[in-house]
Amino acid sequence: MLTSVLPFTPEMAATVTQYCTEHSTDVSPEMKEVWDWTCGEFEDADKMSSPLQGTTMKFLASWAGAKRVLEFGAYSGYSALAWYEATKQTQAEIITLELDPKMIAATRTTIAKYNLGDRLTVIEGPAQQSVEKLTGMFDIIFVDANKDGYLGYVKAVLDQKLLSPKGLIMCDNVFARGMTISTESNPQLPDKVRPYWTECGKALQKFNTYVKNDPRIDVVLLPVYDGVNISFKLAAAERPPGGAGRKPVGGHAEGADARRHVAAAVVAGFGASAEMQPAREPPRCRVGVYARAPRRVDQLGAPGTPPPSPPGMRPAMTGCA
Ligand code: SAH
């Protein structure tokens, strides 16, 4: 049976990553420059996203037509640059949260060098404190800072209603180099970093379970890079059917379908109810829309070969922290 992850050796994984990178849209020369500079400048540059991830992020943000992006963990500004480039058309506001003064300086260097200051802001300090002061909604929320903070970050995002109705939360490194799944799962992990990632794995086990069970979001954990989970807000999530901890039966398509119904109903001035089934339609999801007005709307229009790594760093283009 084909599983979600091919049984790669590290060499095969590097070859496949290279193949994927070569057959995906290239990152911009500016992103390549920042990537190369970061690799040369910082010993722990494996924290930075890979070029293939950069392309993925740009792809997502431009597909979503993001108008506002929130990032936890700037590092040298590589991923923030990806968000910036991907949102030229929408002129999105991008906010990145960073704690480390050295990385704040690096990000500011990137901002100055590429004139990103018109739309990209760094908020300095512990991300938990920073996020608690934010208001408004974001279409893309990228969680990539300290792994033991993820739970608090996503909880704050949901509690403060910072995720837009069509928005996505993307959390990076939820495998913690494999340690989230099992401390046996990555024999290649160097001893030097094993204790760190083991601790991250423990925190991320709790986090992955939390997002799976939070009734406000639907989530898919993708076995790509170092594990990426993507969540979106469920319609009528404030009143989950059956009470807290329960999600509607079914997966993303049903959640998305329900979201369209509810959004359409709101636009059309109809009432939406978590308890009621869709009028005159076979129930596809426990979240339904009840038409109090004479007509209902069923659909709402759609929204809109990097350099080799320096010694001691991860192979070029592979996972990141
Ligand atoms: N998003 C970047 C990589 C981020 S690496 C990219 O893809 O290129 C993680 C970053 O989170 C580091 O720069 C680290 O300093 C920062 N960080 C760690 N703990 C933090 C905290 N509590 N608050 C804010 N930033 C934090």
Domains identified in the chain and CATH numbers = 10-233 (3.40.50.150), 252-290 (no CATH)
Side-chain-facing half-sphere of 64: CA atoms under 13 Å: 26
pLDDT at 235 over 70: yes
Torsions phi, psi of 311, nearest 5?
A: -55, 145
Which tens digits make up the pLDDT trace of 201-230? 999 999 999 999 999 999 999 999 999 999
- The single residue listed with the structure tokens 């076995």 is 223
- The single residue listed with the structure tokens 């494999």 is 178
Q: Over range 5-33, report the average pLDDT.
A: 94
Closest residue by Cα to atom 8, ligand 1, is: 48
Q: Which of 50-64, 70-84, 111-125, 290-304 has the lowest mean pLDDT?
A: 290-304
Ligand 1 centre and the CA of 174: distance in Å? Answer: 14
Long-range contact pairs involving 178-187 (C-beta distance under 8 Å, separation at least 24) = 180/204, 180/205, 180/208, 180/227
pLDDT at 315 over 90: no
**Ligand 1 close to Cβ of residue 198 (< 6 A):** no
SS3 233: strand
Confidence of residue 236 (pLDDT cuts 50, 70, 90): low
Q: How far is CA 207 from CA 10, 21, 129, 132, 170, in A?
A: 27, 29, 19, 19, 13
Which tens digits make up the pLDDT trace of 106-152? 999 999 999 999 999 999 999 999 999 999 999 999 999 999 999 99
More confidently predicted of 34 and 266: 34
Which tens digits make up the pLDDT trace of 270-293? 222 222 233 333 333 333 222 223
CA–CA gap between residue 203 and residue 217 (Å, rounded): 20
Ligand 1 centre and the CA of 221: distance in Å? Answer: 21
Q: What is the structure's pLDDT at 291?
A: 28
Q: Over range 244-273, report the average pLDDT.
A: 37
Are 81 and 31 a contacting pair, CB within 8 Å?
yes
Confidence of residue 259 (pLDDT cuts 50, 70, 90): very low
Ligand 1 centre and the CA of 77: distance in Å? Answer: 10
Ligand 1 centre and the CA of 68: distance in Å? Answer: 19
Which tens digits make up the pLDDT trace of 144-200? 999 999 999 999 999 999 999 999 999 999 999 999 999 998 998 999 999 999 999
Confidence of residue 7 (pLDDT cuts 50, 70, 90): confident
Strand partners, 22: none
- Nearest partner of 43 among 99, 90, 106, 92, judged by Cα: 106
What strands lie across the sheet with 138-143, from one edge to the other?
120-124, 93-98, 68-72, 138-143, 163-171, 228-233, 217-222
- The single residue listed with the structure tokens 């993820």 is 150
Which tens digits make up the pLDDT trace of 39-55? 999 999 999 999 999 99
